[in-house]
């Protein structure tokens, strides 16, 4: 019998998945924001993928959806606390008897990398650089870190659903 992903034995290096994913996301976010600041004008929306995605350089002192706008110090402190809590949660997951699977570890890394990317911006500039804008709908301008956080949440949810389905006892047909 093959063990369910949530019950699979971990290798000693499996925990490296999370920091590796975090570093990749942090690097992608950092490089994309610096590119945007160098190559985009703050006053003009530029099509990137027509009718799908535009470039629209903005600076956000608040959190997601500009919550807490113009409260940069409070948002930086809050983001720092949330990032530390995320790190502590990851460490506690790694100490559990049933370790996270690769999908969950990758998701945690994406969230952590995205959180660090936005936090780095806050410490360096006092605000977060946003530059991606959906062309087909009204939605707040966002960045690679925001997208990575969303992808990370999705990966964790998929991992949880897969583990739940594997651990769920089979349903007996009615007679």
Q: Is residue 56 part of a domain?
A: yes
Is the whole-model pTM more than 0.95?
Answer: no
133 in catalytic set: no
* Count of domains for the chain: 1
Alpha-carbon distance 24 to 27, whole Å? 5
Phi then psi dihedrals of residue 97, to 5 deg? -60, -45
- Domain membership of residue 6 (yes or no) is no
Domain range for 104 is 16-166
Q: Which among 29, 121, 130, 133 is annotated as catalytic?
A: 130
Asked if the structure places residue 172 within a domain, the reply is no
Per the structure block, which two tokens stand in for 69? 């706008």
- Confirm whether 57 is domain-assigned: yes
Does the annotation mark 146 as catalytic? yes
Annotated active-site residue in 29, 101, 133, 146: 146
**Per-residue pLDDT in tens (0 to 9) along the chain, 175 residues:** 344 444 455 577 888 999 999 999 999 999 999 999 999 987 789 999 999 999 999 998 877 666 667 677 888 888 899 999 999 999 998 898 888 999 999 999 999 999 999 999 999 998 999 999 999 999 999 999 999 999 999 999 999 999 888 877 767 777 6
């Amino acid at each position: 019998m093959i063990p369910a992903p949530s019950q699979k034995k971990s290798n000693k290096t499996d925990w490296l998945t999370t920091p590796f994913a975090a570093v990749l996301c942090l690097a992608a976010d950092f490089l994309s924001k610096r590119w945007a600041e160098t190559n985009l004008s703050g006053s003009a929306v530029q099509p990137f993928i027509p009718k799908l995605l535009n470039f629209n350089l903005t600076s956000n002192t608040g959190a997601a959806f500009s919550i807490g706008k113009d409260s940069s110090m409070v948002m930086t402190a809050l983001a720092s606390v949330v990032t530390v809590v995320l790190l502590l949660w990851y460490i506690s997951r790694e100490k559990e008897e049933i370790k996270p699977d690769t999908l969950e570890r990758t998701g945690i890394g994406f969230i952590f990398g995205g959180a660090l990317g936005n936090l780095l911006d806050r410490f360096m500039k006092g605000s977060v650089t946003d530059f991606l804008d959906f062309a087909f709908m009204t939605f707040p301008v966002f960045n690679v870190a925001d997208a990575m956080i969303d992808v990370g949440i999705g990966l964790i949810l998929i991992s949880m659903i897969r583990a739940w389905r594997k651990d769920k006892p089979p349903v007996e047909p009615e007679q």
